[in-house]
Structure 1
Amino acid sequence: MKALKIAALSLVMFSGLSLADSSPLTTVNEYMAAWNAHNVPLAAQYLAEDAVYYDAAAGEPITGREKAEKEVIGAFIKAVPDLSWKMIGKPVYDEDTVAFRWEFSGKNSGEWAGSPPTNNPIKFEGVSYIHVKAGKITWQGDYYDSKKLDAELKPVK
């Protein structure tokens, strides 16, 4: 009987750990860590196959993991190979959504949207709103001051 109680307690404890490991916040933290490790394929693995990525500055959503890997994650990491993407303050989250303020910084030492590198430092803030289902990001919306970023990307004369 005692062994049965211990087994039941272990099952409850371990199932709780697996739920905690797959929380939306854990998924987002691991996704950001992959970005900060500059690992494009690893970051893309956190996206659902049919994920939608919306960048408010671009205006048009990108649909699908493969496109987001190339046109968002890959493009940013190519343009700013030393990028740092970090949360500012505490995120707000529930069972399937994480929202947080962030700061993005680094040096534009790679091509950005067809433009040659400026080697300018960039640093701007924004907000992300991310939906997670079964440990995969299904929708990400990023909102930031694109005019500030554009100014930082202008070649110094």
Structure 2
Amino acid sequence: MKTIKVAVLAGALFSSLALAAASPLTVVQDYMAAWNAHDSAKAAQYLATDVVYYDAANGTPVKGKDHAEKEVIGAFIKAVPDLRWKMTGKPVYDHDTIAFRWQFSGKNSGEWAGAPATNNAIKFEGVSYITVNNGKITWQGDYYDAKKLDEELKPQAN
């Protein structure tokens, strides 16, 4: 019985250490994989309850995990159900903050910010700065060419 208790305690300790030892880069890579799996709930699991999500194109930060899941992640996945978000350069990081260039692509086959789908292909680049504390994203800032995205989202003339 004592051996079982020790084994259970050791397993719990190693599981806790594995979670605590997840590097900020691993957290970000797993977060991006959840986006690419088109699973907003899974992506939101990587966010801290009080996360701040800043999209430079909007200018107003989205505060809180539930709001970020619905208003950012879910909105993007709904608008571009086949989205692909990938790092295009080597990430730079210092302790808890990661910066990286990325490319976002897919087809706008769902409603975007109240506008109907255009069925246009979109592809734009940007940079994200993400802060990770205790295995959770506490701040994300996305900076990209919103004018290019707006052009790609315009309905095509027939």
TM-score range, shorter chain: 0.7 to 0.9
Counterparts of residues 38-49 of structure 1 (less than 5 Å): 38-49=38-49
| Corresponding residue for residue 58 of structure 1 | 58
SS at match of 1:89: coil
**Aligned partner of 1:146: which letter?**
A
| Corresponding residue for residue 84 of structure 1 | 84
Query: Structure 2, unaligned stretches of length 5 or more?
Result: 1-13
The CA deviation at 1:141 is 0.1
**Counterparts of 1:63 and 1:142, CA distance in 2:** 14
**Counterparts of 2:69 and 2:21, CA distance in 1:** 24
| Corresponding residue for residue 142 of structure 1 | 142
| Corresponding residue for residue 7 of structure 2 | none
Identical residues among aligned pairs (%):
76
**Counterparts of 1:97 and 1:143, CA distance in 2:** 15
**Counterparts of 2:58 and 2:131, CA distance in 1:** 20
**Aligned partner of 1:72: which letter?**
V
**Aligned partner of 1:121: which letter?**
A
> Where do 4+ consecutive residues of structure 1 move more than 3 Å?
none
**Counterparts of 1:85 and 1:148, CA distance in 2:** 17
SS at match of 2:35: helix
After superposition, the CA RMSD in angstroms is 1.5
SS at match of 2:59: coil
| Corresponding residue for residue 75 of structure 2 | 75
Query: Structure 1, unaligned stretches of length 5 or more?
Result: 1-13
The CA deviation at 1:18 is 2.8
Superimposed CA distance per residue, residues 31-71 of structure 1 (whole angstroms, 9 cap, x where no aligned partner):
00000000010000100000000000000000000000000
Superimposed CA distance per residue, residues 98-135 of structure 1 (whole angstroms, 9 cap, x where no aligned partner):
10000000000000000000000000000000000000
The number of equivalent residue pairs is 143
TM-score by length of 1: 0.88
TM-score by length of 2: 0.87
Moved more, 139-148 or 20-29: 20-29
The CA deviation at 1:95 is 1.4
Distance 1:118 1:139, change over 3 A: same
| Corresponding residue for residue 127 of structure 2 | 127
**Counterparts of 1:144 and 1:109, CA distance in 2:** 21
